[in-house]
């Protein structure tokens, strides 16, 4: 929903806008009688045979649940949250065109930060990467593209410790990791590319999570016979019987729309099998 043109999802040779792709998916499910409720789940009880989910005071119950809450961008937590959409962004590929001839900064050192910086060079007046260490962790080919691009500058061993601006971003404050020297820099765009956090706060006391907070499924767990477990078991099932996980809430590696959609299909088939339905191929 936060992406502009999507060019890597099958079936759209000319690309499709992110919100349009979501709208088409919704229409397709509604055609088959699926009921969709746009609500925020506030509490869950997934431990019993009957799973319970609350939206405020309203309670829903089911024998099976698929968790696909996704992941959210990691924030710096230095006040930038209030300026999201007002100069602060978590997706340069989505928003770069809005920063034509502006002074921009990218925070991060991985492939995502490299991609953001390269995307901004097509529009922004200046692009500066701010990284806490003295070298990037991005792949060599991405580093090469960035370091050879004359439009991109790098502030090594630095971090953003503050932002200024009311209706829009006006300035950022940086600090040297080793020197502790602070500096205020004029800024019209700040792009955060420091990773994602799985949206699993709701399930901390209900389902097994790994050390990074991602849902653990049977597919993730090591077993004595992975092939047997995959063929005859329910690979997307979590630590709670009848609860399945799919998408970025499970996947810390690929994080693509197509892989999330594929995993959603797997979870749906596993849920049907759990409920005793017939599935072709089982």
| pLDDT for 243 | 97
Domain boundary among the residues 194, 210, 237 is at: 194
- Strand residues in 4-151 grouped as ranges (E): 5-6, 16-17, 43-45, 51-55, 58-62, 65-67, 71-73, 88-89, 103-107, 126-130
| CA nearest neighbour of 119 among 139, 140, 87, 149 | 149
| pLDDT for 204 | 93
| pLDDT for 122 | 95
The answer to whether the CB of 12 falls within 8 A of the CB of 29 is: no
Number of alpha helices (DSSP H) and beta strands (DSSP E) in the chain: 6, 17
265 labelled catalytic: no
Domain boundary among the residues 130, 163, 194 is at: 194
- Tell me: do 157 and 256 sit in the same domain: no
Count, residues in the chain: 282
- Write down the catalytic residue from 45, 91, 225, 270: 91
- Write down the catalytic residue from 20, 94, 201, 251: 94
- Tell me: do 204 and 113 sit in the same domain: no
The count of domains in the chain is 2
Burial class (CB in 10 A: 0-12, 13-18, 19+), 253: exposed
Per-position pLDDT tens, the chain of length 282: 666 677 789 999 998 988 899 999 999 999 999 999 999 999 999 999 999 999 999 999 999 999 999 998 899 999 999 999 899 999 887 788 899 999 999 999 998 899 999 999 999 999 999 999 999 999 999 999 999 999 999 999 999 999 999 999 999 999 999 999 999 999 999 999 998 899 999 999 999 999 999 999 988 765 555 666 666 679 999 999 999 999 999 998 887 889 999 999 999 999 999 999 765 544
The answer to whether the CB of 160 falls within 8 A of the CB of 129 is: no
- Write down the catalytic residue from 20, 45, 95, 265: 95
- Tell me: do 240 and 164 sit in the same domain: no
- Tell me: do 148 and 231 sit in the same domain: no
- Tell me: do 223 and 241 sit in the same domain: yes
DSSP secondary structure code for residue 65 in this structure = E
Q: Is residue 237 part of a domain?
A: yes
- Tell me: do 129 and 165 sit in the same domain: yes
Global pTM reads 0.74
| pLDDT for 127 | 98
Domain boundary among the residues 144, 160, 194 is at: 194
- Tell me: do 82 and 186 sit in the same domain: yes
Q: Is residue 219 part of a domain?
A: yes
The CATH number covering residue 218 comes to 3.50.50.60
Q: Is residue 260 part of a domain?
A: yes
Q: Is residue 282 part of a domain?
A: no
| Domain range for 229 | 64-70+198-275
Q: How far is residue 91's CA from residue 120's CA, in Å, rounded to a whole number?
A: 10
- Tell me: do 94 and 190 sit in the same domain: yes
The answer to whether the CB of 130 falls within 8 A of the CB of 160 is: yes
| pLDDT for 120 | 96
Q: Is residue 4 part of a domain?
A: no
Q: Is residue 168 part of a domain?
A: yes
């Amino acid at each position: 929903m936060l992406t502009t043109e999507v060019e890597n999802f099958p079936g759209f040779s000319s690309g499709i806008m992110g919100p349009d792709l979501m709208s088409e998916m919704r229409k397709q499910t509604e055609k088959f009688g699926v009921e969709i409720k746009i609500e925020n789940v506030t509490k869950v009880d997934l431990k019993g045979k009957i799973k319970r989910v609350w939206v405020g005071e309203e309670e829903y119950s089911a024998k099976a649940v698929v968790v696909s809450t996704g992941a959210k961008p990691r924030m710096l937590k230095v006040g930038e949250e209030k300026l999201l959409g007002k100069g602060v962004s978590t997706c340069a590929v989505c928003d770069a065109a809005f920063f034509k001839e502006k002074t921009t900064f990218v925070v991060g050192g991985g492939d995502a930060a490299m991609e953001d910086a390269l995307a901004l060079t097509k529009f922004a007046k200046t692009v500066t990467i701010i990284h806490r260490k003295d070298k990037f962790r991005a792949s060599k080919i991405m580093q090469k593209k960035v370091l050879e691009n004359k439009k991109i500058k790098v502030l090594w061993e630095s971090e953003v410790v503050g932002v200024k601006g009311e209706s829009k971003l006006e300035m950022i404050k940086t600090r040297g990791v080793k020197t502790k020297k602070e500096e205020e820099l004029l800024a019209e765009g700040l792009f955060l590319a420091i990773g994602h956090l799985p949206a699993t706060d709701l399930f901390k006391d209900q389902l097994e999570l790994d050390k990074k907070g991602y849902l653990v499924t049977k597919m993730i767990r090591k077993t004595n016979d992975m092939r047997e477990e995959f063929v005859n078991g329910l690979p997307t099932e979590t630590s709670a019987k009848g609860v399945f996980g799919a998408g970025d809430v499970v996947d810390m590696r690929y994080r693509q729309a197509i892989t999330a959609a594929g995993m959603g299909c797997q979870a749906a088939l596993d849920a049907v099998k759990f409920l005793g339905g017939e599935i072709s191929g089982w």
